[in-house]
């Protein structure tokens, strides 16, 4: 019986051997309990890695990522790029914001353009799609992932209330802490987080963790009041809504 | 079809696998999705460089690996990529199963070298063959298998025998 070398054993564990080579290893392992135990440990490690990462395949893909791959013919605009991974190299990854150049976007109402232009060029939190503003970048990510029940004082975006609007869509209020501070309401739609209202927020609202509805700018409060029927989500409902992809 | 349209169309069904690979490389959920976004930007910007007769998944995985390496370099040593405890919490938070074991695994992966971590991600998580991983990393196959062996030894030492 030839001893099995480590490279062969590793390939065996990783399922990279052909049938004949695998049979040889099986035969050798039957004769060598110590080696067989080692193989079992390596197989358990592989299984543990798969168990840890395979569930990612079943998670809903964040809308801001799928939106980047929409055909340009159906989306009036490409999403504005993230200002760098955690902002570390903003300039390198910046692409031209096509919506500023596109005829349909320019034809959008002055009010919508104003919303777009409000946002500082470096923040990249809004993209225009078919003339409507949608959340992008860190804002889209915060809306997708952040829980008001687990606030992060250092996050660039704070989430306030989450609730199911009268029309069935889930809406969330948010405050952008990084200047220029903004507060607004986002409502989940098939193409991402639509932004029916965005208002300048006072530094106090932006800088603190106060998230009571009464702290929201009046226009945002009014937009909430117009949509809210029933109660706002509690922590458990918020978590469940996230798990369901905000649908 | 314009090459960027072909790449757009081809990448959409690859997003779940790309997110899984990014998670295995970057650890934290938010970091991993930031990485995916950077990868998509790069892939779309370089769409003309993809040869339609070559596999799109390997092409975009190579972009992901290089973007991750770039980010590690940009961050340098001053900030650890992430705090292992926080990474474990996020992983556990997302899967909701066995938080303590998930945390332990996240911390062990964070302790690997970049060379080791990327072969673990590409071969053990994504399931590439040794040859595919070697081609993607532009190293000999023997380098892939020896890094993999060292990564396993390190993980087993960190995780104990109940891996």
Instruction: List chain A domain ranges.
Output: 6-58, 63-243
Question: What is the side-by-side order of every strand in the sheet holding A170-176?
Answer: A126-129, A132-135, A192-200, A182-189, A170-176, A157-164
- Please give the pLDDT value at position B161: 60
**A-chain residues near B97 (CB < 8 A):** 55
Q: Do B149 and A48 touch (CB under 8 A)?
A: no
pLDDT tens track for A24-45:
999 999 999 999 999 999 999 9
The confidence band for B81, taking pLDDT boundaries of 50, 70 and 90, is very low
Residue A11 has pLDDT above 60, yes or no: yes
Top-confidence residue, B8 or A98: B8
The confidence band for A52, taking pLDDT boundaries of 50, 70 and 90, is very high
In this complex, the residue of A41, A53, A89 whose CB is nearest that of residue B23 is A53
B38 touches chain A (CB under 8 A): yes
Top-confidence residue, A243 or A228: A243
The answer to ipTM > 0.90 is: no
Count the neighbouring beta carbons within 10 Å of the beta carbon of residue A69: 22
Let me know: does A203 contact A183? Beta carbons within 8 Å: no
- State the average pLDDT over residues B113-142: 96
Inter-CA distances, B69 with A32, A93, A201, B32, B76, Å: 41, 15, 38, 13, 10
The confidence band for A114, taking pLDDT boundaries of 50, 70 and 90, is very low
A87 touches chain B (CB under 8 A): no
B154 touches chain A (CB under 8 A): no
CATH code for the structural domain at B1-79: 1.10.1740.10
Provide the CA A211 distance to its chain's centre, in angstroms: 21
- State the average pLDDT over residues A102-129: 51
Chain B, 64-103: which have a CB under 8 Å from a chain A CB? 67, 71, 74-75, 91, 94-95, 97, 101-102
Share of chain B above pLDDT 90, in %: 63
In this complex, the residue of B94, B106, B156 whose CB is nearest that of residue A41 is B156
pLDDT tens track for B5-16:
889 999 999 999
Inter-CA distances, B90 with A49, A108, A150, B36, Å: 16, 40, 12, 17
The confidence band for A73, taking pLDDT boundaries of 50, 70 and 90, is low
Location of structure tokens 């004082």 = A153
Share of chain A above pLDDT 90, in %: 29
- Please give the pLDDT value at position A124: 74
A91 touches chain B (CB under 8 A): no
The domain spans of chain B are: 1-79
Chain A, 183-242: which have a CB under 8 Å from a chain B CB? none
- Please give the pLDDT value at position A20: 94
Let me know: does B22 contact B90? Beta carbons within 8 Å: no
Provide the CA B45 distance to its chain's centre, in angstroms: 21
Asked which of A93-102, A117-126, A237-246, B68-77 is least confident by mean pLDDT, the reply is: A93-102
pLDDT tens track for A158-180:
888 898 888 888 999 988 887 77
- Where are the strands (E) in A56-156, listed by range? 126-129, 132-135
Residue A187 has pLDDT above 70, yes or no: yes
């Amino acid at each position: 019986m030839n001893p099995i070398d480590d490279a062969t054993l590793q390939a065996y564990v990783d399922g990279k051997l052909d049938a004949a080579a695998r049979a040889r290893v099986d035969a050798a392992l039957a004769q060598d309990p110590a080696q067989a135990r080692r193989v079992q440990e390596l197989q358990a490690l592989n299984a543990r890695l798969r168990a840890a990462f395979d569930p990612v395949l079943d998670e809903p893909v964040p809308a801001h990522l799928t939106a980047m791959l929409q055909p340009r013919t159906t989306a009036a605009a490409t999403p504005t790029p993230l200002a760098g991974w955690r902002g570390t190299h903003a300039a390198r990854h910046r692409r031209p914001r096509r919506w500023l150049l596109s005829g349909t976007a320019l034809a959008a109402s002055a009010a919508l353009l104003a919303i777009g232009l409000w946002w500082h060029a470096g923040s990249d939190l809004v993209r225009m799609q078919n003339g409507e503003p949608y959340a992008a970048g860190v804002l889209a990510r915060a809306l997708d992932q952040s829980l008001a029940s687990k606030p992060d004082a250092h996050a660039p975006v704070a989430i306030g209330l989450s609730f199911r609007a009268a029309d069935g869509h889930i809406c969330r209020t948010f405050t952008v802490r990084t200047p220029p501070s903004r507060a607004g309401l986002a409502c989940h739609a098939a193409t991402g987080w639509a932004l029916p209202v965005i208002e300048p927020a006072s530094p106090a609202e932006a800088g603190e963790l106060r998230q009571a509805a009464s702290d929201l700018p009046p226009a945002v409060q009014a937009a909430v009041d117009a949509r809210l029927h029933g109660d706002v989500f509690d922590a458990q409902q918020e978590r469940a809504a996230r798990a369901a992809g905000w649908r | 079809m314009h090459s960027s349209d072909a790449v757009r169309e081809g990448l959409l069904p690859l997003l779940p696998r790309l997110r899984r690979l990014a998670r295995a490389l970057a650890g934290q959920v938010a970091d991993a999705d930031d990485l995916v976004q950077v990868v998509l930007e790069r892939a779309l910007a370089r769409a003309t460089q993809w040869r339609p007769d070559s596999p799109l998944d390997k092409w975009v995985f190579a972009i992901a690996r290089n973007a991750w390496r770039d980010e590690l370099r940009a961050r340098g040593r001053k900030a650890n990529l992430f705090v292992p405890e926080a990474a474990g919490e996020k992983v556990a938070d997302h899967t909701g199963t066995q938080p303590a074991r998930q945390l332990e695994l996240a911390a062990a992966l964070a302790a690997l070298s970049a060379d080791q971590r990327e072969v673990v991600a590409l071969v053990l998580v994504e399931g590439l063959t040794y040859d595919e991983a070697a081609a993607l990393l532009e190293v000999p196959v023997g380098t892939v298998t020896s890094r993999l062996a060292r990564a396993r030894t390190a993980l087993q030492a960190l995780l104990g025998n109940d891996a």
